[in-house]
Amino acid sequence: MPRSSKSHALLSDAALGSLRALGERLREARLRRNWTQQQAAAKAGLSESSIKKVEGGSAHITVAAYLALLDIYGAPTVFDRVLAAGDDTLGEALSRAGLRRRARGEQTGAQADEWDV
C-alpha cells in the first residue's frame, strides 16, 4: 500500500500495522459493549468520524482520541506500561553497553607539573 501522507512516511509498516490492530481491538471492545459508533463517540467526547478513524487505525488522528476510547473502555492507564522498566530490553542493553566514561586528554606542561609532589 503506497504511503500517501507525511505521517505515513514517518511510521514504519510495523507501526502502521500496530495502529490497525489497536483500532480493531477498540472496535471489538465497542461491539462487546453493544455500543454504536455514535454512542462511543458521545461517551468519549469525540465525533463519530474520529471513532471511524481510530477503529481504522488511522495515523491521522491524535493519540488523545485513542486514549479517550481506552478510558471509556476501562483501560485509561494502559499506556503506563509502554516501555516500562524491564520491558525495554534493547534500550537497557544498549545503556549498559554504552556507559559513558569521562574522557580526559593527556596533561602536559604546567598542568601536569602543578600536582607533582
What is the DSSP annotation of 43-99?
Answer: HHT--HHHHHHHHTT-SSS-HHHHHHHHHHTT-TTGGGGTT-TTT-HHHHHHHHHT-
What is the chain's mean pLDDT, rounded?
82
Task: Please give the domain boundaries of the chain with CATH numbers for all domains.
Answer: 6-97 (1.10.260.40)
pLDDT tens-place string over residues 68-103? 999 999 998 888 877 777 877 887 788 777 765 555
* Averaged pLDDT for residues 13-26: 93
pTM score: 0.68
Least confident of 27-41, 60-74, 101-115: 101-115
